[in-house]
Each structure stands twice: as structure tokens, then as C-alpha cells.
Amino acid sequence: MKYLITESQLEKVIFRYLNIQNFYVTKFNDDYNFWNSYDIENPSFDSKIIISTHKQIYCFIKKDFVETISSFFSLDRGDTMNIIGDWVESKTGFEFKNLLIDTN
């Protein structure tokens, strides 16, 4: 099934999609990690988004996560990075100077 989504509504749709991913967020000093999932009995941490706030604010987003979102919503990588960055900013209250791809 296909839906027509106006450009002004696209970011809201992606925010909703990211909100239902149930990220487990950890914070150490001023660094945040958004983990894919957390299961107390069987922990399998797979960090998708890493935020470092030392001196300058960096947001590292895993390459495979960016590609998944890009493919799912038919966006180019730059637009996807910006939307994910906006979503993370809304969750942390930080304003990022740099959004970077983490290839590890």
C-alpha cells in the first residue's frame, strides 16, 4: 500500500517511526547513546546513534541505520541525516554542529 505524504508531513512521520523504535538511551557525562534494543535477560546492545558533546557537539549515526531509514522512506542520505539529527535534538535538547556517519 502506498501513501502520499506531503513534504511538510514527512518529518513528522519519520519522528513517529523513530519514536516507536523503543530506543534504550544511556547517558555518561554529556555523551548519549541511543541503543537499538535492550533486553535485561539477553542484552544485545547495538548502538545506532552516538552523541558526543565534548567541546563541539557531534552526532554520529550508524551508516546501516541511515541506509535503512533512507530506503524505507525513499530519501537521500543527507536528508535522512538531517531528519534523524532533528529527532535526536528534540530528544536531548542539544543543537548539533556536526552530523556524521559512523561506519563502525
pLDDT tens-digit map of 31-76: 777 876 655 555 555 667 776 665 567 888 888 889 999 999 989 9
100 vs 13: CA distance, rounded Å: 23
Q: Could you tell me the pTM of the whole model?
A: 0.80
pLDDT at res. 26:
79
Q: Is 52 helix (H, G, I), strand (E, B) or coil?
A: strand
Residues in contact with 102: Cβ distance below 8 Å, sequence separation at least 6, in sequence order: 50, 60, 61, 62, 63
Per-residue pLDDT reduced to its tens digit, 71-95: 999 899 999 999 999 998 888 888 8
pLDDT at res. 93:
83
